[in-house]
Structure 1
């Protein structure tokens, strides 16, 4: 269906550009408003042609960019249909759904029932596969509150209801009076599922929300604590490792291949072994703690933490949290 749509839209653009070529006076210095619009149509046609060439070689990402620019210059339901196809080929189901929906609306407005029917089929096909996100707005939110998803403002009429999102991890932030109040990452759910994110209640002035409600929750606290414990363990391992090496060198003067010749040599050798054991255990604990910190920090949030405990033992680290 994609080549047919491309030919339909391309034919429309070609007819427009031909009319412009016949009507535009070649000696005009300052173009009239109609001429300026026709110039945009010609540029849109050129972008469309370049996009069609990229579609032929299945370069849908570049084709999408070219079609977006073409649509901005000269809106067309045919361009939107092709843009939706490119989005769908890239797996961007929400973007494809939006493009097909816009194509259907524009086609109805311009009397292109054929394109409206094609867009309707595409919309119905995508509906069961859409991933959706519900953003629950905070209570007592100030009028200046702005919620952004991936850097784009979310319209207020889309708060508190599921809206389609593309696959991947999305950046959600809420600000008031230009002060950041909430910032988090939201992974898209499975196809057909709905994810929900609740922005914490506003406590007072913008920017005064507790850090635990700005994303530094129990999980992040556990990650920071584990990281501190890990660094401490590695530092301890380094200190005792150097001490063990030093004691070994001192014992060389009192000990040989067959054993130590006096009590001082025996004591130095025992101290070297003890320091070496402490160094080994500290390195193990430090490494485990650093790994736990990385997992806790980068993993998706499990929920709002109520209590977090960090425990260290011989050769082990325990991280416990209630959610």
Structure 2
């Protein structure tokens, strides 16, 4: 047996620091609602309560009510047992593709845990479901910047032309691209071993936007007055654009902050569990399996650190864009008439390094 010194304290400290930083930043930015959500999202009592209620509803064959409770329990406190029950619930509901994917995930987790009974159980259901899986095959004509979605979920370009398992029922397929009209259709997928092929046509260019004519200026002002009015209007539009971009970037930053918190919690738990497991790290000396667990925890901690940095910086950048977009129309007109460089120009650039990441706002304000 190969043993190595356990560097778990470093991994655990990094993970715990990332989690603490995210929690403090979230409390400062989103309190009190953020603090309440953080407390509830890690409540093992609530997770256990939902699991037991979900199991009770499954025994009563109330699967439509049971599945959401099991799904929330799994979100609050992920576990292979809960995941297997959730897969069974979705299988009973007829969501064959969803159940198949969850059994696959449970199979991988059971192998990692060394639980042969759960591994065999998951494999049995996977083998039974696979011949019944219905699938959708998406083919698309070439359109620059094409994005295909199914029920609002993005489909990677690499998946086009490949049969994708999908739950039976009605599904909305949508294709979009910048500067082109949206194309969509609804497809009805059968319950067992159905294959639906959808051909997405080449998108048509969007019709030119109808622009309202500017009101005529005073007779004495002539063309010069009309030009000034147009410049003022463009200035106002630029401010609205920056404000919208600020809110979008800030919202994305909050989402990334949440991802960083999740990875930090996972990292801290995985490293701590490995350190305490006598089969993985007896007497603080790690076996090769224990070393892999610690390495995986350090990777999650790094993702957490990057997510935290990017999230906080994006929220700050969004706030800057919103604040700098608030100039009055008179000030904008004055700046425009004085010199063209008076406009606000800004862009957000992501920064990712080996030990962390963030975003930077470049431009003139």
State the structure with bigger RCO (CA 8 A, min sep 6), 1 or 2: 2
The structure whose Rg is larger is: 1
Give me the TM-score of the superposition, normalised by structure 2: 0.43
| Structure 1 or 2: more helix by fraction | 2
Give me the TM-score of the superposition, normalised by structure 1: 0.48
